[in-house]
Chain A
C-alpha cells in the first residue's frame, strides 16, 4: 500500500513493472510511431514510385527527348516517343494563370479579414473561406466543363472553351481559400506593437497595411503563394476536365493543354502493369513528386524563417 503512490508518480525510474508502466511504454511507442509515420510514408511512396519507374529510366529514357520534345506518343506503332515538354508546359501554364487569379483574390481577402473586418463579418468570412476549400475537385471540374466552357466560347468567340483560361480560373478559385487562410495567419502573426507604433507616427490604415504589416509578413505570404502553386501542380480531376486534355505547347490562354497529373490519371488505368508506357507514367509521377516536394519544402522553410524572427 505504501509503495503504490510512489511507483505511480514515477513509473519510469521504478523497478516495479506494473500496469501503469506498460501503459506508459505503449503510449510512448504509439506516439513515436505516429510521429514518424509521415516520414516513413513519404519515403515509402517515393521509393515505390521510383521503383515502378526505374525500368524506364534505365532503358528507354532519353533526357533530351523527355524534357525537349512535345511529342507524347507512348502507343505509337513505329515511333514511340516520350516527350513530356508539352505536359510540363501545360501544367506550368495552367498553374501560372491560376496564380494570376488566386494571388490578388486571396491576398485581398486575407488583408480584409485580418486588418479591416471585425466581429461577426470576420467570423462569417473565415467560415465561408474554409467552406470554399471543402468543395470537391470533381465538382470544380464539372463547373469548368459545363458552365465555363460555353461561357468562354460565347465571350471570346473561340472554337472551344476547354483551355488554359478555363482550367486556370477553376484552379485559381480552388487554390484561393487555402492561400487566404495561410496569408491571414501570417498577417495575424505580425505583432500589434508594429501597428500601434505606425499609428502613433500618424500613418493611415492603408499606410500601416502596405508599409508595415505586409513587409513584416512577407515570408508567410510567400509561403502561402508557394503552397498554392503546389496545390495547382498536384491538382488532377478539375484540370483533366477543364483543360481540354490536348497535347499542345500553348501560345495563348485559349489553347487546350494537357497536364502531367491528368495524363497519369487518364492513361494509367489502361496500361499493362510493368510495360514501358506504365513505367514512363511513373517517371512523370516522380517528376511531379519532386517538383511539389521542393515547392512545399521551400514554403515550409520560409515559414520557419518567419517564426524564428
Chain B
C-alpha cells in the first residue's frame, strides 16, 4: 500500500507545485511554508482568503524558517514564511537554482521572555538575559539574579531555547547575545514555540523565549529594559509597533521572483488593512503600507 500511496502523494504534490492560472474557474493552489512563528497567522490568512477569492486555495505548512527557505530554494513552494532574513549563503544557493527570492515584510513580532508564574522576577535587562543565555555568561542560578523562586529548590536556571536552525533562535542570538556570541551549551532546545511555553509553564526554574503570540495563562511575560535604569517595557502589539519594546523583529514572506498573478494578489491582500487586521488579532504588530527589503 505504502509505495503506491507515496507515489500518488508525490504526483499530487508535484502537480500542485506551481500555481497555474488555469482557464475558467479552475482552482489554483498556492504553496506556503515556513516559520512556526508565522504559521498561525498564515493559516488565518489562508482561511479568510477563501472567502475573498474562492478560486485560490492556500496550503500552509509550518516546520520552521529554514524549512520554508530550503523549500523555496528547491522550488517546491510559492511563498516561504520566515522569522529571519535570508542568509547570504541561502541567497547564493537560490540564485544557483535560478530563483531570485523577493522579500516582503508582512508584520512585526515581539519576542517575549517567559518565566513560570511563581517566579517573582518580572523585569530583565538585555545584559542579564545575555549573561543567562550567552556563552561565558556568569548567571547560572536564580540567586545570581537576586531572586528566590518558590518550587525551585535547586535555584538552577533551566534555560529553554530552540533548535539551532529556528528563526527565533537566530533572532534572539543576534538581538540579545550580540553578533558573534554563541549560546551557552546545555539549554533545553525545544522543537517549536509552543513547546517552549509548555515547558516553562510546567517548570518553576525555567526561563524561555518565543513569539508573543504563543503566550498562555500558564506563563508570565517579563518586561525588558535596555539598561538597569529602565524603562522596562512589556511586550505587546503596541510596544512592538512603536519600537519601544527592544526585541521585536520583522516577519518575512519570500516569493520566487517578482510575484505575479494570484501570488501577487494574495500578498497585496495580506498587506492591505484587512490582512493586517487579521495579523494584529493574532498578536503580531502590523506594518504600515508595503515594505520592500533590500
Interface check B146, CB cutoff 8 A: no
Please measure, in the bound complex, the distance between the C-alpha atom of A80 and the C-alpha atom of B284, giving whole angstroms. Answer: 33
Q: What total of A-B pairs shows CB separation below 8 Å?
A: 93
Q: Are B154 and A159 neighbours in the complex by a CB distance under 8 Å?
A: yes
Produce 1/0 per residue, A234-265, CB < 8 A to B: 00000010001111100000001010000000
Chain A CB count within 10 A is highest, among B63, B203, B205, for B203
Please measure, in the bound complex, the distance between the C-alpha atom of A75 and the C-alpha atom of B170, giving whole angstroms. Answer: 9
Residue of B73, B152, B188 touching A245 (CB-CB under 8 A) = B188
Please measure, in the bound complex, the distance between the C-alpha atom of A258 and the C-alpha atom of B191, giving whole angstroms. Answer: 13
Interface check A86, CB cutoff 8 A: yes
Please measure, in the bound complex, the distance between the C-alpha atom of A183 and the C-alpha atom of B205, giving whole angstroms. Answer: 43
Interface check B95, CB cutoff 8 A: no
Interface check A269, CB cutoff 8 A: yes
Shortest CB-to-CB span from B205 to chain A, Å, is 4
Shortest CB-to-CB span from A177 to chain B, Å, is 24
User: Size range of the interface on A?
Assistant: 35 or more
Residue of B66, B90, B188 touching A162 (CB-CB under 8 A) = B188
User: Size range of the interface on B?
Assistant: 35 or more
Q: Are A159 and B186 neighbours in the complex by a CB distance under 8 Å?
A: no
Produce 1/0 per residue, B146-187, CB < 8 A to A: 000000111010100001111000100000000110100111
Within B60-103, the residues touching A (CB, 8 Å) are 63-67, 69-70, 73-74, 89-90, 93
Shortest CB-to-CB span from A39 to chain B, Å, is 20
Q: Are B165 and A258 neighbours in the complex by a CB distance under 8 Å?
A: no
Interface check A195, CB cutoff 8 A: no
Supplied contacts A75-B164, A274-B93, 14 more A-B pairs, CB within 8 Å: A70-B185, A72-B185, A157-B154, A158-B154, A159-B154, A159-B156, A159-B204, A246-B186, A247-B187, A266-B191, A267-B165, A270-B63, A272-B93, A273-B74
Interface positions of A (Cβ within 8 A of B): 70-79, 86, 149-150, 153, 157-160, 162, 240, 244-248, 256, 258, 266-267, 269-275
Interface positions of B (Cβ within 8 A of A): 63-67, 69-70, 73-74, 89-90, 93, 152-154, 156, 158, 163-166, 170, 179-180, 182, 185-191, 199, 202-206
